[in-house]
Structure 1
Amino acid sequence: MDVSLASWLLILVALVLANLPYVNESLFGFIPLKPAQPGGAPNKHGWVRIGELAVLYFVVGALAWLLESRIGNVFKQTKEFYMITVPLFVVLGFPGFVMRYLRKR
């Protein structure tokens, strides 16, 4: 796999995983949650979505590290790297946030 293909694959995976917490009511897309009321639909709270977004950020980071190690040397990351990639991951999740909370029903 060349560098360009790995980069686009990582961007696509990051886009999908950043929107995953907003498009469904199950945890990580496949773990069902209990309904808040008996017989009701499950309700995933905002803090659960934020926690899920944080875990998925580290999943994307692990995939990026794996792809980078297959291509060549892995570069050491400093705090500036994380200060850029965390907001970028949150911005990639903005379409899902808009569909979940800001769209008129």
Structure 2
Amino acid sequence: MDIGAAAWLVILLALVLANLPFFNERVFALLPFAFSAAHGTGQAPSKPFLVRLLELAVLYFAVGGIGRALEGRIGTVFPQTWEFYAISACMFIVLAFPGFVVRYLRKRH
């Protein structure tokens, strides 16, 4: 895989995984979320915002690990300082904005 394809793969993967917590009610899209207060009410349990944020943080590190692995496969892994991680975390949050809007800001009819 060349450098351009690896970069686009990481960007697309980050876009998909950043929105994953907001588009489903399962944890990491695999495990059902069960909350005791929703049992008996007839409603499906909804993930709290804090769970979505924790899931977003774990997915950020997963994308970072995949990106680092692809970089190591292509060539030398460059050392990164805190500025890189601060900027990439902010970019991951920006990529999650469409899912946040659909989940919390869109009017329901």
How many percent of aligned residue pairs carry the same amino acid?
Answer: 59
Amino acid at match of 1:2: D
For residues 46 and 101 of structure 2, the distance between their equivalents in structure 1, rounded to whole angstroms, comes to 18
TM-score, length of structure 2 as denominator length:
0.93
For residues 72 and 5 of structure 1, the distance between their equivalents in structure 2, rounded to whole angstroms, comes to 14
1:34: how far off? Answer: 1.0
TM-score, length of structure 1 as denominator length:
0.96
Q: Which of structure 1's runs of 4+ aligned residues deviate more than 6 A? A: none
Q: How does 1:1-105 map to 2 (within 5 A)?
A: 1-35=1-35, 36-38=37-39, 39-105=42-108
Q: How many residues align?
A: 105
For structure 2, list consecutive stretches of 5 or more residues without a partner in the other structure.
none
After superposition, give the CA deviation of every residue in 1:1-53 in whole Å (9 maximum; x if it has no partner).
00000011110000000000000011001100114322321110011000000
For structure 1, list consecutive stretches of 5 or more residues without a partner in the other structure.
none
Amino acid at match of 1:80: E
> Which secondary structure state, in structure 2, belongs to the residue aligned with residue 8 of structure 1?
helix
Report the aligned-residue RMSD: 0.8
> Which secondary structure state, in structure 2, belongs to the residue aligned with residue 40 of structure 1?
coil
